[in-house]
Amino acid sequence: MPQSDLPIEQLRSYRSHTRAPADLADFWAGTLEESRRLGSPPVVHRLSTGLRLIDTDDVTFSGFDGHPIKAWFHRPAGQAQRLPVVVRYQGYGCGRAAAHEVPVWTLAGYACLDVDTRGQGATYSTGDTPDPVGSDPSVPGFLTRGIRSRNTYYYRRVITDSVLAVDAAKLLPGVDATRVAVAGASQGGGLAVAVAGLRDDLVAVVSDVPFLSDLRRASEIASRRPYTELSTYLSIHRADVARVFDTLAYFDAAVLGRSAAAPAIFSVGLMDQVCPPSTVYAAYNAYAGPKQIEEYPYNDHEGGAAHHQAVTLAWLNKIMAA
């Protein structure tokens, strides 16, 4: 598993060549406005999980086009004061998991909205949210669903769900709506960056080994799924290359992050074969807010794992205390 991407000196200055579409801001403003118009307040039901130190609610909130999206809302039991909240997005193929699988953010004293991913949740952890929208021909997975148009593309729905999860989190009981962070790894890390680029009210962003970044380069150099779904699709749909990358420019974290303002911490594994380091640096170097990145020279897509988790906890604690 050698380091097979650019040398570290080039990675630290690498920039994506993907240009932001001229109507990017209007496209997302219209998408979010329409989905908010069709939405309704979140529905919250208390669960009995057997965990006496954690309170957990089953939450259903409105996502893209008003579609119902599931989430778990975890918070330390018996807290009287309003807590900062971390909105957590899942990795590729993952769902919100079981109700008793509590994220580290809640163990650290934060409320956490653990957001399901529509149509996923059948690979590494379970999910409960279907995607009611169909698709043209696509490679098995999610990366090419509806890819011939920005309007039908799968990640238009997922990114909208992710943005509106923050709306929902602010309305939940016991939340300090002025202190909302977003976090995730891999797909979740890319979604966190995208959300930060589409909102101006976050206090922190945690993006570990982010997916969905510099998608054209990723399709050309990644050696493992999911990015190989793109190259497989284009090996069959040869006439679709320009159309596909025109679509993807609206959803690329290395594009959307150029509008972000919240402080962010990133991580990268320099032997990552799933999200090549240059694509992670594309997101990091484009990110417009205050930022830092932790490099793990001998790690693949696991990045810094538990070691980095301690780093991000210490970083977030400082941000929230301030």
| Beta bridge partners of residue 86, listed in sequence order | 112, 181
Phi and psi based region of residue 312 (left: phi greater than 0; alpha: psi -120 to 50; beta: remaining):
alpha
Which listed residue (65, 135, 300, 301) is catalytic? 301
Complete DSSP assignment for 142-188: STTTTTT-TTT-HHHHHHHHHHHHHHHHHTSTTEEEEEEEEEEETHH
d(Cα 122, Cα 93) in Å, to the nearest integer?
6
Which listed residue (237, 272, 278, 308) is catalytic? 272
d(Cα 120, Cα 130) in Å, to the nearest integer?
8
d(Cα 85, Cα 320) in Å, to the nearest integer?
10
Residue 31 CA neighbour count, 13 Å, CB half: 25
Active-site annotation holds for 231:
no
Structure token pair of residue 142: 């999610």
Active-site annotation holds for 40:
no
Residue 133 CA neighbour count, 13 Å, CB half: 21
Active-site annotation holds for 301:
yes
Which listed residue (35, 186, 207, 219) is catalytic? 186
Task: Name the nearest CA neighbour of 72 among 52, 51, 50, 47.
Answer: 47
Helices (H), 228-274: 228-236, 241-248, 253-256
Report, as residue numbers or ranges, the catalytic residues: 186, 272, 301
